[in-house]
Chain A
Amino acid sequence: MTPADADLVARVLVHDDRHAFATLVRNHQSPVRLFLRRLCRDDALADDLAQETFVRVWRHLGSWRREARFQTWLFQVAYNLFLSELRRRRPTEALSADGEAVDAVQAPRGDAVHLQHDVAHALAVLSLDERAAITLCFQHGLTHQEAAEVLAMPLGTVKTHVLRGREKLRKRLGAWEGAGAP
């Protein structure tokens, strides 16, 4: 929990301060949208879910447990909405659930755009749980415990998903590892 988040939340709850809520949205929209984009691999849908995430957060702001970081709670709400969308669409329509077969990354092509492209493709081979755990821990810097809270899974399960996902990513992105991030 950052003091700034707690202060902004208090202003929203006590004074119904929409400017404070706008600041919260601005501060956190990027990680939430990135997380959902990794899960959905459909930017428009991810942004719709992100909007719904913040609307739901607005409605239930009072239920935020302050011992958890505000961002962790946001991810939790976003992930639950994603799962609801997944359930709603299945089985008629795919929503990037489990891993897909994609071409292996052959070699680094030398710039950040290509790296992002290859990372996205490598993530696509992971199962949904692995992808969510890896994204939270690697990209957003959550601890395994925080990821377990977001994904509503036991800590050991999250560690297993991270471990398996990491091994799959190593196979796909091994060439980049030697080169390092540009």
Chain B
Amino acid sequence: MNAERDPQLESLFAPPAHVDDAGFTDRVLARLPARRAVNPWWRRAILAGAGAAAAAVGLGAPTVLAAVQGVFTTAVTQVASGGVPVVSLVMAGLLAWSAAAVVLEERA
């Protein structure tokens, strides 16, 4: 990389000029949107739920895994046969995911 440098030419650009703030920072701060105040209890509830689910999986791994496998097998079968319950399950999952995203997002 250094061999590709041209110190003499680069010296014409350096030291870089400095632009005075002159109220720029204040103008930026005035334009900042308010962040949504996220209720810390929501975060805790979601984290607790995730932790409980993880603990359940950890404690009863064989049973839980078998149950999950059963649900998955059923779901695949129902999808193959065009069953509505799986669609509902997917929709519910998407809704839950969206709700969590809305709760945790920062206001854009």
Contacts and interface: CB of A to CB of B under 8 A. Distances in A.
Interface in A133-182: 138-141, 143-144, 159, 162-163, 166, 169-170, 173, 176-177, 180-181
B8 A177 contact: yes
Nearest to B6: A166
A139 B12 CA distance: 9
Nearest to B15: A181
Given A139-B16, A140-B16, A166-B9, A29 B4 contact: no
A128 interface: no
Given A18-B29, A25-B28, A33-B24, A173 B9 contact: yes
A162 B4 contact: yes
| SS class, residues of chain A in contact with chain B | helix
A177 B17 contact: no
B16 A31 contact: yes
Interface residues of B, number: 27
A39 B106 CA distance: 31
Given A51-B24, A141-B14, 18 more contacts: A21-B29, A25-B28, A29-B19, A29-B21, A30-B16, A30-B18, A31-B16, A33-B19, A34-B17, A37-B19, A55-B28, A55-B31, A55-B33, A58-B32, A138-B14, A139-B16, A166-B6, A176-B12
Interface of B: 1, 4, 6, 8-14, 16-19, 21, 24-25, 27-29, 31-33, 35, 106-108
Q: Which 9 A-B pairs have the closest CB atoms?
A: A138-B13, A30-B19, A139-B13, A25-B25, A54-B28, A33-B19, A181-B11, A138-B10, A177-B8
Interface of A: 16, 18, 21-22, 25-26, 29-31, 33-34, 37, 47, 50-51, 54-55, 58-60, 62, 115-116, 119, 138-141, 143-144, 159, 162-163, 166, 169-170, 173, 176-177, 180-181
